[in-house]
Each structure stands twice: as C-alpha cells, then as structure tokens.
Amino acid sequence: MILAELQNDRFLRALLKQPVDRTPIWMMRQAGRYLPEYRASRADAGDFMSLCKNADFACEVTMQPLRRFDLDAAILFSDILTIPDAMGLGLYFETGEGPKFEKVIRTEKDVAGLQKVNVASDLGYVTNAVSTISNELNGKVPLIGFSGSPWTLATYMVEGGSSKDFRHVKEMMYATPDVMHQLLDVLADSVIDYLNAQIDAGAQAVQIFDTWGGALSHDCYKEFSLAYMNKIVKGLKKEARGRKVPCIMFTKGAGQWLEVMAESGADALGLDWTTDIANARARIGDKVALQGNMDPSVLYASPARIRDEVAKILKSYGNGSGHVFNLGHGIHQFANPDHAKAFVDAVVELSPAYHK
Ligand code: CP3
C-alpha cells in the first residue's frame, strides 16, 4: 500500500522524541457517542458491529472528530474485542450493558480449543477499514492502529463481558496459572499478527490498550500482563513505507510500573491522570515518550477550567519533545463536544511556548 506523503507528522515525531513546533494531541475514544454525528451514523448502520464491519461507515466515523477538532492523529474505528469475536466467542452488545460474549472461556478445555486468530480470513474487515481510512486521510494526519493487551482481552473472554471484580479471570490466574499463560500466549500471537496486518494496511503507529492491567498485583502485572505486551512489541514491524512505526503501551493504573514498562521496547507510554507527568518524565528519563494525561472528567468543567488544566499539564511536562497530549482514558459519552474543542484548542494555543 502506498500512502500519500504526510502533511502533519508531529504526532509521529513526538513519539520518537524528535523536535516539534507544538505538542501534538489526539483523544482516546475520539470517535464515539459524545458526538451527535456518531450517533446518527450508528443509527444508520444499525448497530455497533455493523459500523465496524462496513469500511465506509468505519471511515466516516473515524473522520468525524477530525472535522471538528484540530487533531494530530486519527485512530482506526474498531474495537479491542474483534479478536475474541474472530476466535469464535460471538461478541454482541446489549444496550446499556456493554460488550457480551455468547461463549465464555473458563476451563483448560476451553483454552485448548482456541487457535491463533486468522487475520486474513476473519479480520479482513478491519484491515479493509484501515486501507479505506488511509486513502481518505490522504496524508492529512497519521493513522493509529490498535489492539487490546492479552490480559485485557482475557478479562472479557473469561468473564464474558465487563467486570468489576474479575472473579473468574483471577481465579484462572491464581488457581491454574498454566492455563492462564496458555490463553495469554495465544492472544499475544494473535495480537502480533493483527497489528502487523494493520501496519501493512496503512497504520503508521500502534497502541496497545491494557485497560485492566491496573487491577493486578505488583508481581502479577509483570507476569500476566507486561510480559505478553513485551512479546508483542518484539514481534511488531518496526518500520513500514520507509518510516518508523512507533508503538504506544497504555496500561491504566500503571503509574508505579513506568520504569519496567520503559524497558519493553515500546516508544511511548500512555499515562492516566493519577500519575504526575513531571514525576513520570523524571523517572523514565529519555527512554520513552509520554502520552496523556488529563482526567476526562475535566471536560465537564468550563472551557476556562479546562484551559487551566491543559496549562498545568504542559508546564508539568516542561520543555522539549516527547509529549503527546491526550486524555488519561477515553472521552466520556456525556462529554460536551464544545468542551472537547476547548481542550484541543488550548493545547494548540498554549504548547508552542514549550518548543522554542
Ligand atoms: O475513537 C476511537 O478511539 C476508536 C474506537 C475505539 C472503540 N473502542 C469504539 C467503541 C477504541 C480504541 C476502543 C477500545 C476499547 N474497547 C477498549 C480499550 C480502551 C478503553 O476505553 O479502555 C475497551 C476496554 C473496549 C471494550 C468496549 N467496547 C466496551 C467496554 C464498550 C462499551 C462501553 C463503552 O465504553 O462504550 C465498547 C463499545 C464501544 N467501542 C463503543 C465505541 C464507540 C460504544 C458502542 C456504541 O456505539 O454504543
């Protein structure tokens, strides 16, 4: 796939700690229900998975936030749960209840029955969406591909959906660690193929979402989450179309593990809002770039208050490249799009001072 020359590469440059004119910004979950035009597209498509499976719809909703805001990256419209769905678990969404699976993975036999996902035959709709979006972007900004981390995917597969206490997946982890490792291993191999296929189709950076790594104990995080993300990072294509493809590792709640994460080979670490970004930068030094980390709930406050918070985070990171501004987690569905605009504008206006 040949891509048009990039007109705005400050996101890729910041991930590699190369000089930029201002701090780049995108928002986790930037395409979604807080936008009325997203809700209209979803109504047209019928349901969420139809939106993901139709490349034209996926492309349209990817572009929606870029039309409203001065963002420096687009993110593929899809979901992390496409992998378990492609493994035969039957993903569906019940209104107001989040994702669910028809089949759950609980036993050694269940795990033994799983095979590495076949990206070409079962996830072609995702790589199709990537190439459709790349064409549409036409070099405007880079496109981010993504996947869930093996641990985070496993939580959904074993629990059968979202969970508060992770009862079943933690039982598997503590009572039958070998079975847990087998599941995580097949997921890691699947994620490697999946992300490499997204890179081949046009993704210019990738992010691994480890939403639930922070639910693990200190030792278990390293053994059951980080180890498999490390395996993925090692298996990823490092370059495509003559350019580096940076990898961002985001574990929510990982403030205490940044030093070990920085050894993973990832180019950047995503931070949630519970970590002080100045402290994070001091701890990881020059090893990796940082992405984050405004509390998404700040968007419920006034534009003036949002601007103050942006100023505080920019000042806290300080001078120089290596910072990609973002929220510390996905934008809430009740966020006001005008406040999201105030957030992005504040980064655009206030950040050049830190790149002189
Ligand atoms: O704009 C983007 O960032 C791209 C799209 C994207 C979606 N999901 C679309 C989506 C991305 C990057 C994801 C990742 C994702 N999905 C994660 C990791 C990031 C995170 O937020 O922690 C997780 C844990 C999921 C699993 C998932 N998908 C849940 C828990 C839910 C339901 C609850 C919710 O937050 O909406 C989904 C559905 C989903 N994925 C929606 C969207 C826009 C809402 C579906 C709808 O239209 O009703």
pLDDT of 144 higher than 70: yes
C-alpha 29 – ligand 1 centre gap (Å): 7
Measured between alpha carbons, how far is 139 from 116 in angstroms, rounded to an integer? 33
Mean pLDDT, the chain, as a whole number? Answer: 97
Q: Are 328 and 292 in contact (CB under 8 A)?
A: yes
Query: Could you give the C-alpha distances from 194 to 57, 62, 120, 200, in angstroms and in order?
Result: 21, 19, 9, 10
Measured between alpha carbons, how far is 200 from 196 in angstroms, rounded to an integer? 6
pLDDT of 95 higher than 80: no
Judge whether 10 counts as a catalytic residue. no
Q: Retrieve residue 146's tokens.
A: 């993504």
Query: Could you give the C-alpha distances from 27 to 1, 77, 113, 194, in angstroms and in order?
Result: 27, 13, 37, 22
Buried b (16+ CB within 10 A) or exposed e, 151-168: bbbbbbbbbbbebeebeb
Kindly list the structural domains of the chain, giving each domain's residue range(s) and its CATH number in brackets, ordered by start. 10-355 (3.20.20.210)
Mean pLDDT of 138-153: 98
Mean pLDDT of 249-255: 98
- Residue 218: strand, helix, or coil: helix
C-alpha 48 – ligand 1 centre gap (Å): 10
C-alpha 320 – ligand 1 centre gap (Å): 32
Judge whether 42 counts as a catalytic residue. yes
DSSP letter, residue 223 = I
Q: Report helix angle 177-201 to 167-175, nearest 10.
A: 120
Percent of the chain topping pLDDT 70: 99
State if residue 81 touches ligand 1 by the CB under 6 angstroms criterion. Answer: yes
Q: What is the pLDDT of residue 96?
A: 77
Q: What is the pLDDT of residue 251?
A: 98
Measured between alpha carbons, how far is 139 from 230 in angstroms, rounded to an integer? 30
State if residue 28 touches ligand 1 by the CB under 6 angstroms criterion. Answer: yes
State if residue 77 touches ligand 1 by the CB under 6 angstroms criterion. Answer: yes
CB atoms within 10 A of CB 347: 23
Read off the pLDDT band of 1 (50, 70, 90).
low
**What does the angle CA 184 – CA 188 – CA 192 come to, to the nearest 5 degrees?**
170
Judge whether 44 counts as a catalytic residue. no
> Which protein residue has the closest C-alpha to ligand 1 atom 43?
32
Judge whether 167 counts as a catalytic residue. no
Q: Active-site residue among 10, 22, 29, 307?
A: 29
Measured between alpha carbons, how far is 148 from 330 in angstroms, rounded to an integer? 14
What atom of ligand 1 comes closest to residue 330's alpha carbon? 21
Query: Do you know the residue count of the chain?
Result: 356
What pLDDT, in 10s, does the model give residues 275-301?
999 999 999 988 999 999 999 999 999
What pLDDT, in 10s, does the model give residues 179-218?
999 999 999 999 999 999 999 999 999 999 999 999 999 9
pLDDT of 94 higher than 90: no
Q: Note the Cα 163 to chain centre separation in Å.
A: 19
For the four alpha carbons of 309, 313, 319 and 324, in that order, the dihedral sign comes to negative
C-alpha 186 – ligand 1 centre gap (Å): 23
C-alpha 80 – ligand 1 centre gap (Å): 7
Read off the pLDDT band of 270 (50, 70, 90).
very high
Measured between alpha carbons, how far is 123 from 145 in angstroms, rounded to an integer? 13
What pLDDT, in 10s, does the model give residues 55-69?
999 999 999 999 999
Q: Active-site residue among 22, 34, 38, 156?
A: 156
State if residue 162 touches ligand 1 by the CB under 6 angstroms criterion. Answer: yes
pLDDT of 109 higher than 70: yes
Alpha helices (runs of H) in the chain, residue ranges in sequence order: 10-15, 36-45, 48-53, 55-68, 82-84, 108-112, 119-122, 124-137, 150-159, 167-175, 177-201, 218-220, 227-235, 258-262, 277-284, 303-317, 337-350
Q: Retrieve residue 123's tokens.
A: 């996830």
Q: What is the ipTM of this complex?
A: 0.93
State if residue 30 touches ligand 1 by the CB under 6 angstroms criterion. Answer: yes
> Which protein residue has the closest C-alpha to ligand 1 atom 31?
98
State if residue 98 touches ligand 1 by the CB under 6 angstroms criterion. Answer: yes
Judge whether 174 counts as a catalytic residue. no
State if residue 237 touches ligand 1 by the CB under 6 angstroms criterion. Answer: no
Mean pLDDT of 264-277: 98
CB atoms within 10 A of CB 21: 12
**Reduced 3-state DSSP string for 316-344:** HHCCCCCEEEEECCCCCCCCCHHHHHHHH
Mean pLDDT of 247-251: 98
- Residue 97: strand, helix, or coil: coil
